[in-house]
Structure formats: structure tokens, C-alpha cells
Amino acid sequence: MLQVTMTKGLPDVTLVLEGELDMATGDILREVVDGLDLEKLNSITFSLDGLAFIDSTGIGQLIGYYRSFAKHNTQVYINNNNKDIEEVLELVGVREIMKT
């Protein structure tokens, strides 16, 4: 299961993710992100410290946001201090394109 909490609102949004982010739970995050007003959004930070699990599909979803928000000049950041999650992010190549 995935829990998404917005700890900081517009224009610089921070979303704290807890639980598991994969194909099965991606819709929960999508719902929250789709509810944001893109006109007022300046940047979005995904905090992954509380994540217990993420796979390549979950990472793919975050990369998807990075690419789509770039068209609106919205910055996307990934905030993570979880060693296991960081290793997977690096393996898939996220750190080569997305900032911390």
C-alpha cells in the first residue's frame, strides 16, 4: 500500500511517500499529482525516505513526471536518504537525469 502526504503546498510542493510504490499502487500517487494546479506549480519534491519498496515501474512514474513537468518549466526533485532505495535509483539510471 502507498500513502502520499503533502507536507508543503503550492507553489513548491513536497509529497512524502510511505509504503510501496509499484505498478499496483502508482494510481494513488497519480491521483494526488493530477490534482495539483499546474499553473501555480513551481517545483515538486518527492520525499522517498519513508518508502519501503520501489521498483522500476515506480521509478518510471517519477521519471515520467520529470519529463512532463519539464515542458511547463516545473522543477522535479527526489529527496531520499534511504540507502536501499538510492541503490535502486542509481541502478535504473535516475540519478543521471534527476536532481536530489
Chain contacts with other proteins (rule: CB under 8 A): 1, 20, 22-25, 53, 55-57, 59-60, 84, 88, 91-93
Which CB sits closer to other proteins, 36 or 85?
85
- Nearest approach, Cβ of residue 3 and other proteins (Å): 14
The residue (of 59 and 76) whose beta carbon lies closer to other proteins is 59
- For Cα atoms 21, 27, 32, give the angle at the middle one, nearest 5 degrees: 95
Task: State in angstroms the smallest separation of the CB of 76 from other proteins.
Answer: 17
- The C-alpha cell at 100 is 536530489
- Shortest distance (Å) from residue 26 CB to other proteins: 9
SS3 sequence, 35-83? CCCCCCCCEEEEEEEEEEEECHHHHHHHHHHHHHHHCCCCEEEEECCCH
Q: Which is nearer to other proteins, 8 or 30 (CB)?
A: 30
Q: Which is nearer to other proteins, 34 or 96 (CB)?
A: 96
Give the C-alpha separation, 72 to 94, whole Å. 20
